[in-house]
């Protein structure tokens, strides 16, 4: 149980850092148009902290109001979530490290997201007809 708590806290810390990097990437990408570049990373961190605070409070009510799902039914949504992280990683790579590689990674993330949407749509349509 203690190890699960540590893993959860590390994941939350990584999420907050990721949000800060996403906020920092805006003034780095276009440095001339932002008056206060430090406000964007702080805003990203604040949004992440609010999401981490709000998530457990809303999760129970939402999960109780939804109908039960079969094990593989939400696989497309999982693919889309992973694709979102890949696309945002591509954005960060393009801004901070190498533009061409970042664009390719972001494009792969978007393509995987489309595949995830199609998977989810086909599974949901298939389950409603049965």
**Among 17, 48, 66, residue at a domain's last position:** 66
36 CB-contact burial (10 Å; exposed 0-12 / middle 13-18 / buried 19+)? exposed
**Among 66, 95, 116, residue at a domain's last position:** 66
- Whether 40 and 3 map to the same domain: the answer is yes
User: Domain range holding 51?
Assistant: 1-66
Distances (CA, A) of 103 to 31, 41, 54, 79, 100: 19, 22, 32, 20, 5
In whole angstroms, give the CA distance from residue 11 to residue 109.
21
Angle of helix 2-29 relative to helix 39-65, nearest 10 degrees?
130
**How many residues are given for the chain?**
130
Domain count, the chain: 2
Residue 130's pLDDT is: 47
- Whether 47 and 89 map to the same domain: the answer is no
Residue 129's pLDDT is: 55
- Whether 93 and 57 map to the same domain: the answer is no
- Whether 76 and 50 map to the same domain: the answer is no
Per-residue pLDDT of the chain (130 residues; tens, 9 = 90+): 677 778 888 888 888 888 888 888 888 887 777 777 778 888 888 888 888 888 887 877 777 777 877 777 888 889 999 999 999 999 999 999 999 999 999 999 999 999 999 998 888 887 655 4
């Amino acid at each position: 149980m203690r190890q699960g708590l540590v893993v959860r806290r590390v994941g939350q810390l990584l999420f907050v850092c990721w949000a800060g990097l996403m906020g920092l990437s805006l003034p780095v990408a276009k440095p001339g148009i932002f008056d206060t570049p430090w406000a964007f990373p702080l805003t990203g961190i604040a949004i992440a902290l609010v999401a981490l605070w709000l998530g457990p409070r809303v999760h129970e009510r939402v999960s109780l109001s939804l109908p039960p799902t079969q094990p593989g039914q939400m696989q497309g949504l999982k693919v889309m979530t992973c694709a979102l992280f890949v696309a945002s990683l591509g954005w960060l790579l393009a801004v901070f490290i190498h533009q061409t590689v970042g664009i390719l990674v972001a494009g792969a993330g978007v393509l995987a997201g489309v595949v995830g949407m199609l998977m989810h749509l086909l599974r949901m349509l298939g389950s409603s007809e049965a």
